[in-house]
A and B are shown apart, each in its own frame.
Chain A
Amino acid sequence: MPDDSLAQLQRGLLDLDMEAALAAVHNVIAGGNQARVKEAVDVVTRSLEVVGKRFQDGEWYLAELVYAGEIAKDVMNALSPLMQSGGSPSRGTLVIGTVAGDLHDLGKNIVVNFARSAGFAVVDLGVDVSAQKFAAAVREHGPAVLGMSCLLTSTESQLAGVIDALKTQGLRDKLKVVIGGAALSERAARDVGADAFAPDAVTGVDMMKKWSAPA
């Protein structure tokens, strides 16, 4: 009898059926086949690309994007113990956090889920992150991209503070900076000296993929 676990995993993700997706991934794990684990990771990556496309096309809404990300997160958590040697090559590192004074993390967490599934190594600094902490993480991890989330207009000035800290330490030219958050805009990106503004998580991850693609 053919093993249709991977097809079932994809259906689970695209039909937003957590139970089916987890049942499928447990079948994959039970097989103990490293190659199948890698294929399962690829299925998650491809499925989230479909989810992102549906969101950008207006076919799916934020709650569906969030729930698909949650299913992917649970699936990846289940697969991760078997992924030591089976993972896809990284597209590079993303350091991400919500700026100081701001505790909102919904948008940031969606980016984290989607970026991980897209093959980025993600260093999530959490919320209320100071400029010094952002700069230290950039120095330590040498990311290709720094993502900053900022929901509150009252904390918008923190974005410029982080970029200033990167400049002072000679780190700004070594990476791309993308900002996102309800109160922000392309104007805000220009004002603070970021490379781009992402109106939503999927667009943000798409930008990162383009930046990480070989020239």
Chain B
Amino acid sequence: MNFKERVLTAMNHEEADRVPVMGLIMDPATVNKMLGKKPVDFVGLLQKPVLGNQIKNLLSSNRFWNNMYYGNFSAAMQAAASLGFDANWAVYALMKLTRDPQASVGWSWYDPYGRVWELAADTEGNINVNYSRALCDTEEKWEKWVEEKAPLFETMLRNTAAFHRKLVKDHGGRIYPMCYAAPGPFENSWQPIGFVNFTRLIYQKPDFVKKVIAFQTDLCLRNLEAVMKSGVEVVLGGDDLGQKTGPLLRPELVEKLYGESYRRMADLVHQRGRKFVFHSCGNIYALLDKFVEWGFDGIITMEPTAGMDLGRVRAQVGHKLVLIGNLDVSYLVVKGTRQEIEDAVRKAIGDAARGGGYILSTSHSHPLVDPVRLQWMVEAAHKYGRYPIGG
């Protein structure tokens, strides 16, 4: 069985030759370490007055941005394949480098949705990026933003389709690209506005919130269409619906505001003959049955630091959802011992892999993930993941 057959067999809740292993590799720090590449001190270069502006001008070229961005994911695919992963995730993003006095390094990425991404570097110069704040904190600013950015959304969708097509063409012969249409309607509706503001609007201006969600749902459906042009059989979508102790919104409210959006996303993917896997960080037990109801085929993440236990998830939703993930990235694949990794892999496989329907992976990407420990993880999966499990 090859990597693709292994992944697709698991996606059908059937036992492959062994449990597939998926990488969530995307952080430059991890990729550089894996490929033995010296990081470019991007943040350091930005601090030089003339050079900073030159880099900004260069990156504002769509072609240059796409080449740079593709290069990172192409390297991630190459690194994941070389470690023996059967699949790796891939996501396209379009960002504009912007001078930002609020940012600690003086620059941030602004994305087309109206979100600011904090730019930082680790001690070796590897870049990392995290959502930091909203640009459209009022109704008026949001309306103006989406009107002005309409052409940018079109560019983004064209780029998304081209990115995933090329990735599948270049790497699909060695590893299965899990192409991700991110982000989803929940994150896209609150993050450009800010969570506190968005919460106020839910209670005070529900019609505006409905309008935002409808806009973002349409955009998300188009993003899914763009990703599916790559031809992959499995498509990822997602929204971080959980926080450390439970969902961010009451499940009934998630259903009321976003249920229709998620049903439409799953329906669209199914109409195209593909399977839809949903990513959500956080503690999401209270939403698992909704995921089944909305028509999702699988979920990816199940963050152990938010209390997600693979055995409990399997018991709750049985084989109604394919499960991907759950290995800890806060300690296990950062500093864990080989024995701890073997034990965790063995437990995950024992908890969720019988009868198929489980793809082993870490619960997320993480800049501190150690490639040696990822190698141990893959080796342990090969050792303990052969079907029949425990046989």
Residues of A within 8 Å of B199, CB to CB, are 63, 66-67, 70
- What sequence of 0s and 1s flags, for each residue 119-155 of chain B, a beta carbon within 8 Å of any chain A beta carbon? 0101000001010110000000000000000000000
The answer to whether B246 touches A103, judged by C-beta atoms less than 8 angstroms apart, is no
Q: Inside 8 A of B18's CB, which chain A residues have their CB?
A: none
Given contacts A67-B202, A153-B329, A153-B368, 4 further A-B contacts (CB under 8 A): A61-B246, A63-B253, A67-B199, A70-B196
Contact of A154 among B200, B202, B367 (CB under 8 A): B367
| A160 in the interface (beta carbon within 8 A) | no
Identity of the chain B residue whose Cβ is nearest the Cβ of A56 in the assembled complex = B245
Q: Can you offer 19 A-B residue contacts whose CB atoms are under 8 A?
A: A16-B203, A58-B246, A60-B250, A61-B246, A61-B249, A61-B250, A62-B246, A63-B195, A63-B249, A67-B199, A102-B118, A103-B103, A103-B104, A151-B130, A154-B128, A155-B120, A187-B330, A200-B244, A200-B245
CA distance A144 to B133 in the complex (A): 30
B61, CB-defined interface residue at 8 Å:
no
In the assembly, what is the distance between CA of A156 and CA of B321, in Å? 34
Q: Kindly state whether residue A5 has any CB partner on chain B within 8 Å.
A: no
Residues of A within 8 A of B130 (CB): 151-152, 154
A185 at the binding interface (Cβ < 8 Å):
yes
Chain A residues whose C-beta falls within 8 Å of the C-beta of B253 in the assembled complex? 61, 63
Task: List chain B residues, Cβ under 8 A from A183.
Answer: 305, 330
| Cα distance A101–B128 in the bound complex, in angstroms | 11
A199 at interface (Cβ–Cβ under 8 A)? yes
Contacting residues, chain B, for A61 (C-beta < 8 A): 246-250, 253
Whether, in the assembled complex, B208 has its beta carbon less than 8 Å from a beta carbon of chain A, the answer is no
A106–B248 CA distance with the chains assembled, in angstroms = 12
Complex alpha-carbon distance, A3 and B200, angstroms: 28
A interface vs B, CB < 8 Å? 16, 18, 58, 60-64, 66-67, 70, 100-104, 106, 109, 128, 151-155, 182-183, 185, 187-188, 199-200
Residues of chain B at interface, number, CB under 8 A: 36
Contact B118 A103 (CB under 8 A): yes
Per-position 1/0 for B191-228, Cβ under 8 A of A: 00001100110111000000000000000000000000
Q: Is there a chain A Cβ closer than 8 Å to B319's Cβ?
A: no
Cβ B128 vs Cβ A63 within 8 A: no
On whether the beta carbons of A103 and B132 are closer than 8 Å, the reply is yes
Q: Point out the residue from A67, A104, A152 that lies within 8 Å of B203, measured CB to CB.
A: A67
Q: How many angstroms from the CA of A67 to the CA of B253 in the assembled complex?
A: 14
Nearest opposing residue in chain A for B202, CB measure: A63
**CA A64 to CA B204, docked complex, whole Å:** 13
- B102 CB–A CB distance under 8 Å: yes
A18 touches B196 (CB 8 A): no
Chain A residues closer than 8 Å to B282, beta-carbon distance: 182
Indicate if the CB atoms of A199 and B330 lie closer than 8 Å: no
Contacts of B329 in A (CB 8 A): 153
- Selected from A58, A101, A109, A153, the residue in CB contact (under 8 A) with B104 is A101
Expressed in whole angstroms, the minimum distance between the Cβ of A68 and any Cβ of chain B is 10
| A154: B residues at CB distance < 8 A | 120, 122, 128, 130, 367-368
Given A106-B196, A154-B120, CB of A18 within 8 Å of CB of B203: yes
Q: Does B331 contact A (CB under 8 A)?
A: yes
CB contacts (< 8 Å) of B249 on chain A: these are 61-63
Is the C-beta of B243 less than 8 angstroms from some C-beta in chain A? yes
List residues of chain B with CB within 8 A of the CB of A62: 243, 246-249
B67 to chain A, nearest CB (A): 26
- Chain A residues contacting B132 (CB-CB under 8 Å) are 103-104
- Which residue of chain B has its CB nearest to the CB of A58? B246
